[in-house]
Structure 1
């Protein structure tokens, strides 16, 4: 989701939440996902239009009752600690909350859910159910852990949150879908051919760089978790293993030029030392670089 779509979502959420601006976390996550840390939500009434994002909320404390009217149907429930609320994208409804609550939120993008559906062998647009202060201990625990990571400031918090968001999507698909979503039956699909080509091209153009998995995942708009799983399905290799093969393949070509020292070739293809390059080369080729060159 671009900045304009996020701005549109947060404007409506601000109106939905008593006119108070939600404290959106500046950091963006894969699959068009943004987060809001724990905050206090005032009583309100608001006719919420159809949005581009799914909105997931966890309630930590609160009073009163919340309700949403969709056509002639009204969903209503008292605010209680440990509950979750969920509003699917593309649906509109009139919301009324008569008490203050303490919540955290996730704006979950469509592409993230489609990636999850693809991974569980479905791949269709999920038909998710609206929930108001609904009991789902697993989903509430996931949201609590996400909120904890937001405030931790730890170096690996971003990656940890990415995994938690994937779990949240899977739980929504499993427990909050209008139709049952199979978790294991049917073939699971990996990356498409064009996605493998894009990743491989990027690897070949940046062999000397310290390529991170998240960089590769971003090329095909997947979370790190989904990317690693889908990549292995498509190629039979981990992303790191595939990168190693690209490096060694280029090294074999460079070894034909006897003016290049082996240490120079090692640096060109992304190894900091000749010894690490030789060990990797031998593991893939069955010969050391020197032995391979002598046989050319």
Structure 2
């Protein structure tokens, strides 16, 4: 991909302050002197007391990007590793399609294509290792345990609640976290004086969503993806290759399942366990990525891009594009030209 799906409009931010710092090393928190604590005052000031009691209770947001991987002779791949500090979590939200091999504490968690909006959480003291086979762009939110505990106490009403754990290291997808990632990138486009306040608020919203997902998983008896067998790598490759080869055509679930050698019923559940997305949603995202590649070329009109990416009407194309990218095709294209 030539441009990240979630980064529409960043080229218009040349004259504005950047509120999302770039990392010097993968998953290395960026220290911002004088940054305000991200834990807000809640009912009875409980969160405010918690925040002042833990001076390190500060959310940190940064961005890591890597170019020149997997394109051209000798581009190869890049392997990176990091260990999360004992008192915090690392949340990674993907901004563009990339191909990776991801390990958590040495255990293989994911191998294949990661789509925009997919995320992963590494807990305190745990290690992450990734081999990037293509260019990448990701947001990292570093969440102190003290902030997580304070937010949980605010909801539970139990002042003695502490040591909350988020112990699911899978790479998965959540529409709410994807939208919050999009919202964070707006800070560099639309804010001046109040940008940091905006970023802090969205960071806290991400923490609350993680806690919500944790609560749901526990009520359901564990993460759903853990209970389903994922599509084997060779079957997943067949399915993905089929989708990529037929994007401009009408593709049904039965077609993709057949390419993987499975029935529709077995394929859909295993595909979602392997990718974090339903087959139809994955197909739509691949079509939008194809359209984005076409839109950066002035030779193609909006209608050309829609049809070549497999959309049967420009109205449907515009609706799906705006939902996934956060901007209309025309506006997204204009921002690419503005940054050229």
TM-score with structure 2 setting the length: 0.42
Larger radius of gyration: 1
Structure with the bigger RCO (C-alpha within 8 Å, sep 6+) is 2
TM-score with structure 1 setting the length: 0.47
